[in-house]
């Protein structure tokens, strides 16, 4: 039971061969004719005022195509599984007093989803190694604070430690005969300590990013105000009546909207990692009494999964 308590989450084209050489010339001729026809074809635009109707996509088709596009990202696939996993736990709570059989079945599915997500983490180590080498988790050239870039390196190295420990625990739990002497709970606890470092680093990095983003937003608005004031001053001194430049205004508004979106995403990241904090501390112990009850830990993780999914959908719709 202690080990269960410490589990967490986080067209090939077919080509037909020609039957004999006698068809080669015919095929080639057909190709040539087709190309000549294409060259001779003149695209005639529709008469003025006439619009060509395009098939209207149904709401179901729109939702289906959006879902497929959304889940093409491995990160979003894990987000869906994460929400599904902790929703199974939540639903099982309603069965705890009415149907023990239903409760047990949902708990088994919840546990299985946990191991599915463990398996998906096998892809995480190379990503972390690339981030440690390239500094891609440092925010890029947008941010001037060197601490943001340094924290990106710390985040990457914490995950380089985290993933191998997770893999050892996963193999021990799923194939205990391979490593009979390995303490899976101990390795899982050590991985969660690396995860805790990642969480604290992420919160600190996000707060630094938010500070710079707010400054960037203020500078954009101040620049727009000064530009408008300069136009008004020029009108007064020269007697002209030039208005604001609509193109420049639209560019400033677009830049402010992009900054606002980044601010929103960083705030979501802070909230999610705050929700992660207590579970990570709870799972970091293996030889002492549990810090929190299962309901508290799973409840926090379920809230985080909802916030994360909402965050990803917001970012997906804005992209």
In a domain, 39, yes or no: no
- Which parts of the chain sit beneath pLDDT 50? 1-40
In a domain, 117, yes or no: yes
- State the pLDDT at residue 87: 95
Burial readout 209-235 (b: 16 or more C-beta within 10 A, e: otherwise): bbebbeebbeebeeebeeeeeebeeee
Q: What's the Cα-to-Cα distance from 45 to each of 41, 54, 56, rounded to whole Å?
A: 13, 15, 21
In a domain, 203, yes or no: yes
- State the pLDDT at residue 147: 93
Residue 165: domain span: 72-207+277-318
Start-end of H helices in 71-183: 74-95, 100-120, 124-134, 146-174
- State the pLDDT at residue 231: 58
Domain count along the chain: 1
Contact present, 138 and 149 (Cβ < 8 Å): yes
In a domain, 110, yes or no: yes
209, HSE (Cβ side, Cα atoms, 13 Å) = 29
Q: How far apart are CA 121 and CA 195, in angstroms?
A: 13
In a domain, 149, yes or no: yes
In a domain, 44, yes or no: no
Q: How far apart are CA 272 and CA 294, in angstroms?
A: 19
- State the pLDDT at residue 312: 94
- State the pLDDT at residue 140: 86
């Amino acid at each position: 039971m202690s080990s269960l308590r410490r589990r967490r989450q986080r067209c090939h084209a077919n080509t037909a061969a020609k039957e004999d050489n006698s068809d080669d010339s015919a095929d080639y001729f057909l190709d040539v004719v087709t190309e000549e026809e294409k060259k001779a074809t003149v695209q005639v635009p529709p008469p003025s005022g006439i619009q060509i109707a395009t098939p209207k996509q149904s709401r179901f088709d729109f939702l289906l195509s959006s879902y497929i596009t959304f889940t093409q990202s491995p990160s979003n696939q894990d987000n869906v599984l994460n929400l599904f996993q902790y929703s199974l736990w939540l639903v099982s709570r309603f069965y705890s007093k009415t149907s023990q059989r239903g409760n047990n079945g949902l708990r088994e599915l919840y546990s299985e989803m946990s191991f599915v997500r463990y398996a998906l983490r096998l892809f995480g180590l190379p990503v972390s190694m690339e981030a440690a080498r390239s500094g891609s988790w440092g925010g890029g050239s947008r941010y001037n604070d060197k601490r943001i870039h340094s924290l990106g390196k710390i985040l990457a190295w914490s995950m380089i430690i985290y993933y191998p420990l997770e893999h050892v625990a996963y193999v021990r739990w799923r194939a205990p005969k391979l490593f009979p002497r390995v303490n899976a709970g101990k390795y899982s606890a050590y991985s969660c300590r690396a995860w805790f470092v990642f969480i604290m680093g992420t919160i600190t990095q996000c707060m630094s990013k938010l500070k710079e983003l707010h400054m960037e937003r203020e500078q954009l608005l101040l620049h727009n105000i000064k530009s408008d004031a300069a136009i008004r001053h020029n009108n007064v001194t020269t007697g002209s009546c030039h208005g604001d430049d609509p193109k420049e205004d639209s560019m400033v508004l677009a830049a402010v909207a992009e900054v606002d979106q980044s601010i929103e995403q960083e705030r979501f990241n802070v909230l999610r990692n705050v929700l992660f904090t207590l579970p990570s501390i709870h799972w970091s112990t293996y030889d002492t009494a549990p810090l929190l009850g299962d309901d508290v830990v799973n409840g926090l993780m379920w809230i985080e999964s909802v916030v994360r999914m909402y965050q990803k959908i917001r970012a997906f719709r804005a992209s």
